[in-house]
Every structure is written in C-alpha cells, then in structure tokens.
Amino acid sequence: MAEIRQSYLVAATSAVSLLRDPAVRTAWDKPSALTEFSVAGLAGHLAHQIVRVIDVLDCGERADEPIPLIEHYTRSPWVQAGLDHESNVSVRVGGQAAAADGHAALVERTQALLDRLLTELPAEPEDRVVRLPWAAWSLRLDDFLLTRVMELVVHSDDLAASVGIGTPELPPSINEPVVELLARLAVHRHGATAVIRTLSRAERAPATISAF
C-alpha cells in the first residue's frame, strides 16, 4: 500500500478519536474557531473528509485522464473565494447538515465509514484514478488522498482549538506531506519570493502567504 494511503488512514483514525472527545460533545452548539462555523458544523466538515473518500471510491462515473494536483486547486472555486461565495456557504451548510443528528450519531456513522476504508483502501490498485462526482475532473487516488490528509490535519487543529484541547499529535509521515502541499500552494498563489522572505526574513515578510 502506498505510504499516502497509510497516512490517510492514520489521520482519519486520529480525527475520529478527536470527534469522540467529550470536549467536542460539550461544546457542540457553541461557535468554533472558524468564522461562521459552529463546533457541530466544523465536526461535520471534519467527518466529511472520510465521507468524501467513500464517495470517490463508490462513484460509478468513468474516470478521465487525471489532472495535476495543483490544477485541482486552481480549478476549485472555494480556494480564493470569500466566506459568502456559494462554494463556501455550501461547505458550512453541509457540515451543519452532517451534524444534525447530534454528536453520538456523527461519531458512530463516521467510525463505520472508517472501518470500511481500513479494509477497502489497502486493496485499491496502485494506479487507481477516481472521478470527483462533485467536480468535472479526475485525480489519481493517491493525489486525492493527499488533499484529504491536508483537510484532516488542518481541521483537526481547528476543532481542537475550538473546544480548548491540544491539537492531536501526528507523525512526520503525515505532517511533512501536508506542509509540502501547503507550501506548494502558497508559492503558486503568492510567488516563491514571498514565501522565501516569510520563512527567512521577518523584517521583509509580506502580510500573508496563506495557501488559501
């Protein structure tokens, strides 16, 4: 099994453990650390990173020639859109809908999906290409899994901060590919000079090199 597949399963297992934390249940109806997200909605969005993998594995549409990973982000309208853009509103609505049945139901449902992936993902062909049913293009499965690992890492930190607990500790095999992906996206968005200055010269750093 490709390393990124193992990294995804470890990150997803960590995320489900975080969702199960009593602090998440206690803060369920409170605002989260993300603008316009409740803790419940953010938890639903975190769980959705497992739902999405099931969606692409089960998609019956024929996969096209896969596009490069960076192009996937340049084609996605939410990347540089504002909070009120329909793509970002849809993300928040979807997270809240996923959490509508309550904390226990979300945890149980997400754990069942993860259990399925623990069995099925290792058996997927190394060269598997998947169609994204919510988009008009295809990606290599391993590239898609990297996008989900990034989402799991970033939103696990968001959720932990929202409920006042420590961010889950993950191994370098997970964090390093996420840092590399975010750096590549930051360079694509802001240029190499801005990123290099931010990492090496605080006195000349731009206001932001955020990947999104």
| C-alpha–C-alpha distance, residues 140 and 198, integer Å | 32
- Domains of the chain as residue ranges with CATH: 3-169 (1.20.120.450)
Task: Quote the pLDDT of residue 189.
Answer: 87
Q: Concatenated DSSP letters for 11-42? A: HHHHHHHHHHSHHHHHTTTSB-SSTT-BHHHH
The closest alpha carbon to 113, from 98, 126, 92, belongs to: 98
Range name among 12-21, 40-49, 78-87, 201-210 with the lowest pLDDT average = 78-87
State the average pLDDT over residues 109-116. 98
Total-model pTM: 0.93
Half-sphere exposure of residue 5: CA atoms within 13 angstroms, side-chain side: 17
